[in-house]
Structure 1
Amino acid sequence: MSKYSNQTLLGYLGLIPFLLLVGAHFLFEHVLLSQAFMFYSISIMSFVAGTLWRESNSNKLNWLIVLPTIPTLALALFDTKLALLYLGACYVFVLAVQKRTETWGKLNPDYQRMRERITGVVLVCHLFFAAQLHHGVVQ
């Protein structure tokens, strides 16, 4: 397998916990599921931002990539719904910043499509989870 095949496979496999946690919360509405979703998402966002920060050769882009991830943990401690919406927006923002880097055009088109698809699915998972929390009993 090529480097991009491995990255693409790992990227899609990383969606499994998002999808399982949203589905499980839909069925069971347990506070531990929302906490697990939140902390998995924070971990993945930090990982994505960290890998892009390493690849960027611009100080400004480095800050644009990492800065949005900083308040996420504090938000998660105070308002889960707001943190979920903020995190979903962070995924979209980080992808938009990545598309402005010099390396984006050099990436394999399969990898680019994977990043766009995954970002879309992750955003929908965050929106769906926030909607479940808004209408459910678990806060």
Structure 2
Amino acid sequence: MQTKQYLGYLGLLPFVLTFAFESFSEELFNFPAVKVFIFYSAIILSFIAGTLWRKHNDKLSIKLQIFSNIFSLLAFFTLFLPNYIALVALTKIYLLILLCEYHFDHSNPENHDYLQMRMHLTALVVLMHIIAFLIWCT
């Protein structure tokens, strides 16, 4: 396994820990576990959106830079939404970023391993958002 894969899967740990330490969340962070989950999710979404950024000034790079900013701003705005809406919105944004990456990067064979990893990670993150919704919003 490559370093980026280790780091990618380790990035799932805080999501899992919010479930594991739900009863201690308010004492540790002064926030309920669902808010810690949403905060971390928005941070990770902004990080992933930043990976869309390209350093060139061609049309494709400019489109990706715009998408990157839109996704980061959407993630930020979820912090002001009710929990149930934030969890649904974050889930959709994860899927949109994956679609965007796949649309713009799938033709390059160098990106196939990365996109496969992103698909696995996104599937796990979406599953955890569904679990979070079921635990904290129903």
Q: TM-score range by the shorter chain?
A: 0.7 to 0.9
Confirm or deny: 8 A CA contact 2:42 2:90 kept in the other structure: yes
TM-score (norm 2): 0.79
Structure 1: 5+ residue stretches without partners: none
Shift of 1:128: 1.3
Are the counterparts in 2 of residues 22 and 128 from structure 1 also a CA contact under 8 Å?
no
Q: Per chain length, whose mean CA-contact separation is higher, i.e. which structure has more relative contact order (CA < 8 Å, sep 6+)?
A: 1
Paired residues, number: 131
The structure 1 segments of at least 4 consecutive aligned residues displaced by more than 6 Å after TM superposition are none
Question: What is aligned with 1:53?
Answer: 53
Could you tell me which residue of structure 2 aligns to residue 7 of structure 1? 4
- Is 1:95 aligned with 2:92? no
Corresponding position of 1:44: 44
Counterpart position of 1:22? 19
TM-fit CA distance, 1:34: 1.3
How far has the Cα of 1:42 moved from its partner?
0.8
* 3-state SS of 1:38 partner: helix
Q: Structure 1 length as normaliser, TM-score?
A: 0.78
* Counterparts in 2 of 1:33 and 1:97: CA distance versus 1, 3 Å: same
CA deviation after TM superposition for structure 1 residue 84, in Å = 1.1
What residue identity is the alignment partner of 1:22? F
Query: Structure 1 residues 8 and 86 mapped into 2: Cα distance closer, same or farther (>3 Å)?
Result: same
Deviation at 1:40, TM superposition (A): 0.8
Return the alpha-carbon distance in structure 2 between the equivalents of residues 130 and 83 of structure 1: 10
Identity of aligned residues (%): 30
Q: Alpha-carbon deviation of 1:104?
A: 5.8
- CA distance in structure 2 between the partners assigned to 1:96 and 1:74 by the alignment: 21
Residue 86 of structure 2 aligns with which residue? 83
Q: Which moved more, 1:30-39 or 1:12-21?
A: 30-39
CA distance in 2, matches of 1:121, 1:103: 21
Q: 1:112 to 1:76 in 2, by over 3 A?
A: same
Deviation, 1:18, is 1.2
